[in-house]
Amino acid sequence: MTEGYIKFNCKWLQEDFSFQEEIYEELEAARTQLYALGLIGMYPDGIGFGNISVRSGESASFIITGSATGQFAKLDQSYYALVTGYDFEKNTISCSGMTKASAESLTHAAVYESLPEVGSVVHIHCLWLWEKLLNDYPATSAEIEYGTPEMAYSVRKLASEIKEKIIVMGGHREGILAFGSNLTEATTEIIKIYNHYQND
């Protein structure tokens, strides 16, 4: 399996975009919790992991942490990107901002497209939790790599079929998705499960 930052084709418009301070503060508060638990961060080899997003208005666009930002404990607005369009078949996203959108943007888009009621998606890494959840929660095939159209299609299909708000990325070692109607719900969901299995 090949790991890295961005496998998709990223049509990046490098320019400032502004979003509400309230949304920014909510994103940072949630990300700080996940970062403190090591669910967002950076590996010793310099590869960052984990990202969060929120839907932007009623359109298909969403705000997501930028690529290669896992190393930072705090992000300013320039480290967030606005995804304005995507194409699963062509493995392409369009985004704007001073930082490129995360390599998992297509996966986030798959959840938003499948479930209009979802307002936020959280993608974390945690090996021991991933191993435990593989047997208890819906998972994508171990043959499907992250950052690929196949992963997006698989996540979209699973999200539309399951009652749970957790998807284990079977072919993306350590990767787990949580989602909810808003950022608080999505973050609380993954932290609740993290604490439950840690104390199990």
Global pTM value: 0.93
Lowest mean pLDDT among 5-9, 70-74, 90-94, 112-116: 5-9
Supply the CATH number for residue 144's domain: 3.40.225.10
What 3-state class would DSSP assign to 10?
strand
| pLDDT, tens only, 13-39 | 999 988 999 999 999 999 999 999 999
Asked if residue 89 is part of any domain, the answer here is yes
| pLDDT, tens only, 93-111 | 999 999 999 878 999 999 9
Asked if residue 156 is part of any domain, the answer here is yes
| pLDDT, tens only, 36-49 | 999 999 999 988 99
Helices (H), the chain: 21-36, 105-114, 127-133, 149-161, 183-198
Asked if residue 124 is part of any domain, the answer here is yes
Contact 105, 91 (CB under 8 A): no
Question: How confident is residue 7, by pLDDT bands cut at 50, 70 and 90?
Answer: low
- Please identify which residue in the block is written with the tokens 């959280």: 122
Report residue 37 as tokens: 């638990």
Question: Which pLDDT belongs to residue 2?
Answer: 43
Percent pLDDT > 70 in the chain is 96
User: Residue 188 is part of which domain span?
Assistant: 9-198
Question: Which pLDDT belongs to residue 199?
Answer: 81
Asked if residue 45 is part of any domain, the answer here is yes
Provide the domain count of the chain.
1
Asked if residue 4 is part of any domain, the answer here is no
Asked if residue 3 is part of any domain, the answer here is no
Asked if residue 87 is part of any domain, the answer here is yes
Asked if residue 2 is part of any domain, the answer here is no
All residues at 6 or more sequence positions from 6 whose CB lies less than 8 Å from its CB, including other chains: 67, 100, 103, 147
